[in-house]
Amino acid sequence: MLKSFCVAASLAAAAVAMPAQAAQITPVSVVASSTQAHGGFYKVENLINGSGMTGDLHDSYFGNMWMTEQGPGAQQGLLTFDLGAAYKLASADIWQFNYADGRLIPGVINTIDRGVKDFRILTSLDGVAFTEVFTGTMARGEGTPAAAQIFGLNGVEARFVQIDILNNYATGTIYTTYSAGLSEVRFNAVPEPAAWAMMIGGFGLVGGAMRRTRRTARTVAA
């Protein structure tokens, strides 16, 4: 009896002590306001298909990234992600455009400057009415495999998420039609206790063991 009680108590204690697990969400689809047509490269699907990913790092090969179409307004863009279901979102993981080629005009402009600089994040439950929940700035890429930059979303509930690109790192130069780009985007749901079922079961076993102990004690006393 004591052994059963100890096992049950251990299960309950382990469940309480177990850290919460965050679920990473890969969007089921993404639509861009524009995408550069360049021999099949820079597809918007590259933002969600894991191309170029090794563990938590994204490589620096341009064919695994996305860019807006060059031309007037190319330094801005709008991405709309469908998560497939509504989640309470803890954060967004965004991998910067990190293809570096300084051969265009050495010392003046580098392809790395296509990386997003200032941006907004907007969310929606129905895909129609969007609300701004974050405004921030991304660090410039370095041209080497890189980890995501993480931006907090404070548990906002959403199924659809937009990234509104306001400018890139070429903004302010003579390259006013220089495309903006990113490498990969994922989201993280608010962590849920990973062991609620174990905890409930453990407490149930503890309660059952205690009741059996009391019944045994009454029988012996009688």
Name the residue among 170, 182, 69 with its Cα closest to residue 121: 182
Question: Quick one: what percent of the chain has pLDDT higher than 90?
Answer: 60
Mention every residue, 6+ apart, whose C-beta is less than 8 A from residue 32.
44, 66, 68, 77, 78, 79, 80
Q: Which two tokens stand for residue 139?
A: 């660090």
Q: Range with the lowest mean pLDDT among 1-15, 34-48, 200-214?
A: 1-15
Same domain? 107 vs 82: yes
pLDDT of residue 38: 76
Would you place residue 87 in the very low, low, confident or very high pLDDT band (cuts 50, 70, 90)?
very high
pLDDT (0 to 100) of residue 173: 75
Shared-domain flag, residues 85 and 174: yes
**Whether pLDDT at 108 is above 70:** no
Q: At 164, phi and psi to the nearest 5?
A: -100, 105
Written as six digits, the tokens of 172 are 């302010």
Q: What is the percent of the chain with per-residue pLDDT over 70, rounded to a whole number?
A: 73
Residue 191's alpha-carbon distances to 28, 155, 179, in angstroms, are 20, 10, 36
Which pLDDT value is given to residue 169? Answer: 92
Total tally of structural domains belonging to the chain: 2
Boundaries of domain holding 12 = 1-19+193-222
- Mean pLDDT, rounded, for 115-121: 97
